[in-house]
């Protein structure tokens, strides 16, 4: 039994919390391994293992992409940002609405082309569309690198649960690391055997727990506060509920850049391509904004926690830099019945495992199909699936080792960079779906300029030290999200260079006719 004491209250993590946590985690494991037998397919085929045979209907794609996008980190990072810095972090709410509009325009077309031509990754499409192995490899590398800190952040979200549950034990860090290692061994085992089918079943389970938790939080937390929302909002600074004029441009570009980036991440595309049809993909995408409601509720927790003295006292026992990530777990611990806290905390915990599995699978597909297979074009189908499965396992443990060896704040900072990098593939992937005049050479140049300018601006903004901000101060527009600035450079080169090349070709044709 673990006891955590603050100045005002004592919370005991006893069997009434541990039993539902462990019991439901066992059910999670069973579902993961059962995926091998669910909707049977030849899991020695990459498209069956990585895309569940492209057989998922509207509801399953809804749950899968929901689990894919709304992760453990999402449900602790947004309230963490609101708790620490206020209203700027409410950008996540409108960007969710915008990103699904982007998805409805682009993803059904990508699905149709992928189904027709057998694409499994975005790089497959890029290589075929532009006839460029180089561009396909660059897209693959960008996706793999961008996802590494994203997987690490799922582990940070899981750590927040374990930190709260293990606080007060004699050696919490060791127990936490052992718990994470066991969880990832289990995850790697059922992902290896079941592929996306296992991830889909566990995604449905995870999303049910998350929704139960979100609904319980919005009902129970205000009831536990004397005066409810009025008291909570009265006790925080005005900047927590009102956006300063100086941050309007930064807020707007964060919304835009984040909305454009989300469906460029390999794990989001992986979920999209698993759909049974373009129509069912559209239907599931149209329903996904429901998760934005949950995210808005979770963001409010970053404010409501200030009106829960027991939770604030508990947070005060941790370094200031790590308090935000513990906001939601501590609210669960100090406002929920103890039996329910085990269920809610498990929802967040497996909310990191499920997307980590899908992210590592999408990385592995990119590595095998779009990098290794370019080096060894005669690779057999058997070798391809074996390397993909092994690579997926390796990527999971690279991220786990990353979290074990560096402070969590570094992982969070590197995610800023990951978002800036992934949006640079937009000209090739999104515009490549519709605009035939784009050329591979300017796209390669634009991608490289976007990546390197983004990295430089991030470093310059943070004075070549620790990464704490992704907003670049300009004299004309104020603070702007660096991903958008770098993307503008990228688009100018991609479209400008393509226009110049096309014009030269047309002039050459005219000259030849003369």
The CB-side HSE value for 415 (13 A sphere, CA atoms) comes to 21
Q: How far apart are CA 439 and CA 432, in angstroms?
A: 9
The reported pLDDT for the residue numbered 268 is 93
The structure tokens 């430089």 sit at 456
Q: At what angle do helices 266-273 and 92-117 cross, to 10 degrees?
A: 50
Single out the residue of 82, 356, 102 nearest to residue 242, CA to CA: 82
Give yes or no for residue 310 having a pLDDT over 70.
Answer: yes
Query: DSSP states of 225-238 as a string?
Result: STTHHHHHHHTS-G
Segment 31-40, tens digit of pLDDT: 999 988 888 8
The reported pLDDT for the residue numbered 14 is 66
pLDDT band at 223 (very low <50, low <70, confident <90, very high): confident
Segment 82-93, tens digit of pLDDT: 888 778 888 888
The reported pLDDT for the residue numbered 5 is 38
Give yes or no for residue 232 having a pLDDT over 80.
Answer: no
Give yes or no for residue 336 having a pLDDT over 80.
Answer: yes
- Do the beta carbons of residue 188 and residue 29 sit within 8 Å? no
Cα dihedral 64, 68, 73, 77 sign: negative
Average pLDDT, stretch 356-367? 92
Give yes or no for residue 189 having a pLDDT over 70.
Answer: yes
Q: DSSP class of residue 13?
A: E
The reported pLDDT for the residue numbered 483 is 94
**Lowest mean pLDDT segment, chosen from 1-15, 32-46, 355-369:** 1-15
Give yes or no for residue 1 having a pLDDT over 60.
Answer: no
The reported pLDDT for the residue numbered 377 is 87
Q: How far apart are CA 381 and CA 140, in angstroms?
A: 20
Segment 14-30, tens digit of pLDDT: 677 788 889 999 999 99
Give yes or no for residue 149 having a pLDDT over 80.
Answer: yes
pLDDT band at 6 (very low <50, low <70, confident <90, very high): very low
Q: DSSP class of residue 324?
A: G
The structure tokens 């070549």 sit at 464
Cβ-Cβ contacts under 8 Å for 195 (sequence gap 6 or more):
35, 43, 48, 49, 50, 52, 361
Listed ranges 230-234, 248-252, 262-266, 395-399; the one with the highest mean pLDDT: 262-266
The reported pLDDT for the residue numbered 2 is 36
Cβ-Cβ contacts under 8 Å for 138 (sequence gap 6 or more):
444, 447, 448
Average pLDDT, stretch 193-220? 90
pLDDT band at 240 (very low <50, low <70, confident <90, very high): confident
Average pLDDT, stretch 359-373? 94
**Rounded to two decimals, what is the model's pTM?**
0.90
Label the pairing between strands 2-5 and 10-13. antiparallel
Length of the chain: 514
Higher pLDDT, residue 363 or 316: 363
The reported pLDDT for the residue numbered 432 is 95
Exposure string over 363-384, b if 16+ CB within 10 A, otherwise e? bbbbbbbbebebeeeeeeeeeb
Residue 57 phi, psi (nearest 5): -85, -170
Give yes or no for residue 3 having a pLDDT over 60.
Answer: no
Average pLDDT, stretch 8-17? 59
Cβ-Cβ contacts under 8 Å for 405 (sequence gap 6 or more):
none
Q: Which domains does the chain have, with CATH numbers?
A: 16-435 (1.20.1730.10)
The reported pLDDT for the residue numbered 4 is 38
pLDDT band at 165 (very low <50, low <70, confident <90, very high): confident
Exposure string over 56-83, b if 16+ CB within 10 A, otherwise e? bebebbbbbbbbbbbbbbbbbbbbbbbb
The CB-side HSE value for 443 (13 A sphere, CA atoms) comes to 27
Average pLDDT, stretch 427-452? 96
3 state SS of 472: strand
Higher pLDDT, residue 246 or 357: 357
The reported pLDDT for the residue numbered 467 is 76
Single out the residue of 374, 335, 329, 334 nearest to residue 352, CA to CA: 329
Give yes or no for residue 12 having a pLDDT over 60.
Answer: no
The reported pLDDT for the residue numbered 118 is 92
Q: DSSP class of residue 370?
A: I
Segment 443-485, tens digit of pLDDT: 999 999 999 999 999 999 988 877 778 888 888 888 899 999 9
Tell me how many degrees the CA angle 130-134-138 measures, rounded to the nearest 5: 105
- Alpha-carbon distances of 104 from 55, 97, 309, 358, 496, rounded to whole Å: 19, 11, 44, 21, 27
**Lowest mean pLDDT segment, chosen from 76-80, 357-361, 429-433:** 76-80
- Do the beta carbons of residue 83 and residue 305 sit within 8 Å? yes
Higher pLDDT, residue 238 or 329: 329
Q: What is the mean pLDDT of the chain?
A: 86
Give yes or no for residue 204 having a pLDDT over 80.
Answer: yes
Segment 93-118, tens digit of pLDDT: 888 889 999 999 999 999 999 999 99
Q: How far apart are CA 258 and CA 152, in angstroms?
A: 19
Average pLDDT, stretch 113-128? 95
Average pLDDT, stretch 414-443? 92
The reported pLDDT for the residue numbered 408 is 64
Higher pLDDT, residue 77 or 310: 310
Average pLDDT, stretch 438-443? 96
% of the chain at pLDDT higher than 90: 42
Give yes or no for residue 334 having a pLDDT over 80.
Answer: yes
């Amino acid at each position: 039994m673990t006891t955590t004491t603050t100045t005002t209250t004592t919370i005991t993590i006893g069997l009434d919390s541990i039993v539902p946590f462990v019991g439901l985690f066992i059910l999670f494991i069973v579902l993961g391994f059962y995926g091998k037998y669910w909707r049977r397919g030849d899991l020695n085929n990459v498209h069956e293992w990585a895309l569940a045979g492209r057989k998922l209907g509207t509801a399953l794609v809804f749950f899968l992409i929901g689990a894919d996008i709304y992760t453990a980190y999402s449900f602790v990072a947004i309230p963490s940002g609101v708790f620490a810095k206020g209203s700027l972090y409410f950008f996540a709410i409108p960007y969710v609405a915008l990103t699904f509009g982007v998805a409805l325009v682009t993803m059904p077309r990508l699905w149709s082309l992928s189904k027709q031509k057998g694409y499994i990754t975005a790089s497959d499409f890029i290589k075929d569309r532009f006839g460029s192995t180089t561009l396909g490899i660059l897209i693959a590398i960008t996706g793999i690198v961008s996802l590494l800190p994203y997987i690490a952040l799922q582990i940070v979200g899981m750590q927040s649960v374990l930190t709260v549950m293990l606080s007060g034990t004699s050696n919490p860090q060791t127990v936490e690391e052992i718990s994470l290692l066991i969880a990832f061994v289990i995850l790697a085992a059922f992902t290896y055997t079941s592929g996306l089918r296992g991830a889909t079943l566990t995604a449905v389970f995870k999303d049910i727990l998350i929704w139960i938790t979100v609904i319980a939080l919005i009902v129970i937390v205000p009831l536990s506060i004397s005066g409810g929302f009025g008291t909570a909002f009265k006790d925080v600074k005005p900047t927590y509920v009102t956006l300063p004029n100086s941050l309007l441009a930064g807020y707007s570009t964060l919304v835009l850049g984040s909305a454009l980036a989300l469906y460029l991440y390999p794990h989001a595309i992986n979920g999209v391509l698993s759909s049974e049809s373009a129509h069912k993909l559209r239907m599931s995408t149209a329903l996904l904004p429901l998760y934005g409601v949950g995210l808005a509720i979770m963001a409010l927790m970053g404010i409501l926690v200030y009106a829960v003295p027991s939770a604030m006292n508990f947070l005060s026992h941790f370094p200031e830099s790590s308090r935000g990530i513990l906001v939601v777990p501590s609210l669960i611990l100090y406002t929920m019945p103890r039996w329910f806290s085990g269920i809610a905390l498990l929802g967040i915990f497996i909310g990191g495992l499920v997307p980590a599995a899908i992210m590592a699978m999408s990385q592995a597909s990119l590595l095998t199909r779009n990098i290794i297979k370019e080096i060894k074009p005669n690779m057999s189908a058997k070798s391809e699936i074996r390397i993909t499965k092994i690579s997926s396992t390796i990527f999971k443990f690279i991220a786990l080792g990353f979290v074990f060896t560096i402070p969590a704040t570094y992982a969070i900072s590197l995610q800023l960079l990951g978002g800036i990098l992934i949006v640079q593939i937009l000209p090739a992937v999104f515009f490549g779906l519709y605009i035939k005049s784009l050329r591979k050479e300017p796209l390669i140049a634009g991608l490289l300029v976007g990546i390197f300018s983004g990295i430089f601006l991030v470093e310059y903004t943070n004075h070549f030290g620790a990464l704490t901000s992704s907003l670049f101060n300009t004299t004309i527009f104020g603070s702007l999200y660096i991903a958008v600035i770098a993307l503008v450079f990228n688009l100018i080169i991609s479209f400008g260079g393509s226009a110049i090349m096309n014009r030269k070709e047309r002039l050459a044709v005219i000259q030849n006719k003369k």
